[in-house]
Amino acid sequence: MTIIKAAITQATWTGDKESMLAKHEKFVEQAAADGVQVICFQELFYGPYFGNVQDKKYYEYAESVPGPTTERFAALAREHSIVIVLPVYEEDQPGVLYNTAAVIDADGSYLGKYRKHHIPHLPSFWEKFYFRPGNLGYPVFDTAVGRIGVYICYDRHFPEGWRAYGLAGAELVFNPSATKPGLSNRLWELEQPAAAAANQYFIAANNRIGTESDEFGDDAVTFYGSSYFVDPRGNYVGEVASTGTEELVIREIDLDLVREVRGDWQFYRDRRPDSYSSIVAP
């Protein structure tokens, strides 16, 4: 399979987990009706973005992976023959929590998970209160539509993980995010296109929208959407999504372009890992 139809979501917080799950079930059904073969939801898709406060009540959103949400969406994946990337809050055991994305293949089988490696602890992003750093490496999943990786939000600022996915043969890497205006705006425009060009694969980056005032009051931040796909040359695939409208962003991507671009540039031939030891020094 070379040309595939892929989708990412940008959605508002409804106020409760069950309605968010139902909303994203509808996204899957809509995507399947439009011929989509793989879909990825936004970071921590079934809850609010609670990183802007430090409150242990939000630990209640964590669940096992695989677990109830993966099982629920595995049934949808099987019904619609669609690959689903599920960014969820994972409880490995009481007090051991991760920001995780599960990958479900088109036949409903659970392929595995990625745990977010780089955990911020900054104003409005107090994530070390909620998550341990990921410890499962940078897995690439062989799916019905190709070789897929997942990098989560703050991870995108660290080029080493992007490279690890390229070295492992990723063709498409999803970057589900929860990103607010400020320092991030220019980086949002730059980083994923640059990473796609440097590593020569497709990247799909999605962000939340809306202000979760009912949940957090004056502590709420406004997420700016602007979800997009980029190709292995760093070009946008279609238009960038809106800054404030709920959207299912669907694009056709030709995975043969990965081979074409790598043949043109040969970055993987010319890289010099023998000279990079300082990069991984503690």
The residues that are catalytic are 43, 116, 153
Is the CB of residue 225 less than 8 Å from the CB of residue 247?
Answer: yes
Q: Which residue has the tokens 């139902």?
A: 22
* φ, ψ at 245 (rounded to 5°): -115, 135
